[in-house]
């Protein structure tokens, strides 16, 4: 794509529980768009983010961001992570344990930047009253909010988010999704987010890519990808166990164990009889494309 900001074409070998698996990814992302990446565990989603950020070097290929070449195996070129204008929100938070919440944010601030953004992000993430605490004094959800705020404080050209809202309850997750969208609009951020939440994909993403066995199986708008998947290969299937379920704003907010992780799902009210805590379930998407689209604001 001629208007693409990020262009990736890499080959790598993934080490999985089943042995070695070849990974080959080609994708392009225009400036200002949000790409959601989803797919089964072990397919290469986190590996791809780490390669783009420069934290892991692909075996072969090329990664370019605008006019900058970040990685080129043919030229033996690999730009260090510090020189890539990337904000990364890790699954394990990666906070500095000896720094307070506020100090973690200031550490991420570029020299000469307006320091008022630190206070603004502390307020937006509901962390102002925790600013003097250190990470070991915070819950997992609180640490995840600090990690998100620290990544945003740099106003990076590219944001990479690895399941950033997985540990949060519905209200905080929805609030931070809303904050992320506002930040995205204000600063025209380009983002890639790994998520298993279909509602989150429809709410946040311009494009979605499903990675299976180290390759992109389908890519397009959320409506295109899931409509295509339904018509060609059957519905997208999620298996899980219900942990909790409440109704809120004409939707079901379901906490479920999916792929050995706790996921937060937003579902139609008419699924309530199946969403009893302790029950196992099978969900097929799109159950109703028009209805699913309503959760994107």
Asked whether the beta carbons of 214 and 182 are under 8 A apart, the reply is no
Residues β-bridged to residue 164: none
CA angle 271, 178, 189 (to 5 degrees): 125
Asked whether the beta carbons of 240 and 258 are under 8 A apart, the reply is yes
* Spatial CB neighbours of 230, under 8 Å, sequence gap ≥ 6: 236, 285, 286
Give ranges for CATH 2.40.50 in the chain.
236-293
Q: What pLDDT is attached to residue 230? A: 46
DSSP of 119-171: HHHHHHTT-GGGTT--GGGS-HHHHHHHHHHHHHTT--SEEEEESTTTTS-HH
Mean pLDDT per 10-residue section of the chain, whose length is 297 residues: 84 88 95 93 91 96 96 96 89 86 90 87 91 91 87 90 81 81 86 87 88 92 66 53 86 76 76 86 53 29
- pLDDT tens digits for range 100-113: 999 999 998 888 78
pTM: 0.75
Q: What pLDDT is attached to residue 17? A: 79
Asked whether the beta carbons of 283 and 267 are under 8 A apart, the reply is yes
Asked whether the beta carbons of 215 and 25 are under 8 A apart, the reply is yes
Between CA 33 and CA 20 the distance in angstroms is 33
CA angle 100, 106, 112 (to 5 degrees): 165
Q: What pLDDT is attached to residue 293? A: 28
User: 25: which 2 tokens?
Assistant: 């990814």
DSSP of 73-123: TTTTEE--GGGS-EEEE-TT----TTS-HHHHHHHHSPTT--THHHHHHHH
Give ranges for CATH 3.40.50.300 in the chain.
4-230
From the list 227, 209, 294, the residue with the least C-alpha distance to 33 is 209
Mention the CATH class of domain 236-293.
mainly beta
Asked whether the beta carbons of 137 and 234 are under 8 A apart, the reply is no
Between CA 255 and CA 257 the distance in angstroms is 7
Report the Cα 8 to chain-centroid distance in Å. Answer: 17
- pLDDT tens digits for range 144-191: 889 889 998 888 999 999 988 876 777 778 778 888 888 888 888 899
CATH architecture label of 4-230: 3-Layer(aba) Sandwich (3.40)
């Amino acid at each position: 794509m001629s208007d693409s900001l990020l262009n990736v074409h890499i080959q790598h070998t993934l080490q999985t529980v089943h042995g070695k698996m070849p990974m080959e990814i080609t994708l392009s992302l225009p400036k200002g768009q949000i790409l959601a990446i989803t797919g089964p565990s072990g397919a290469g989603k986190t590996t791809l983010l780490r390669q783009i950020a420069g934290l892991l070097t692909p075996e072969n290929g090329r990664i370019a961001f605008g006019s900058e070449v970040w990685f080129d195996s043919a030229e033996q070129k690999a730009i260090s992570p510090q020189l890539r204008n990337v904000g990364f929100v890790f699954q394990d938070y990666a906070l500095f344990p000896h720094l307070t919440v506020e100090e973690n944010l200031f550490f991420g601030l570029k020299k000469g930047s307006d320091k008022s953004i630190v206070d603004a992000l502390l307020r937006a993430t509901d962390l102002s009253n925790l600013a003097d605490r250190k990470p070991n004094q915070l819950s997992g959800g609180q640490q995840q909010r600090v990690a998100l705020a620290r990544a945003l404080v740099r106003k990076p050209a590219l944001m990479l988010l690895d399941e950033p809202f997985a540990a949060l309850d519905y209200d905080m997750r929805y609030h931070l999704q809303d904050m992320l969208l506002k930040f995205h609009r204000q600063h025209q951020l380009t983002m890639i987010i790994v998520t298993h939440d279909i509602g989150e994909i429809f709410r946040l993403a311009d494009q979605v890519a499903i990675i299976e066995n180290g390759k992109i199986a389908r890519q397009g708008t959320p409506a295109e990808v899931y409509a295509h998947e339904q018509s060609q290969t059957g519905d997208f299937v999620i298996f899980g166990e219900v942990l909790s379920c409440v109704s809120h704003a004409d939707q079901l907010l379901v906490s479920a164990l999916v792929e050995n992780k706790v996921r937060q799902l937003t579902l139609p009210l008419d699924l309530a009889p199946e969403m009893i805590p302790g029950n196992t379930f099978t969900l097929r998407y799109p159950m109703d494309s028009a209805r699913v689209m309503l959760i994107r604001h």
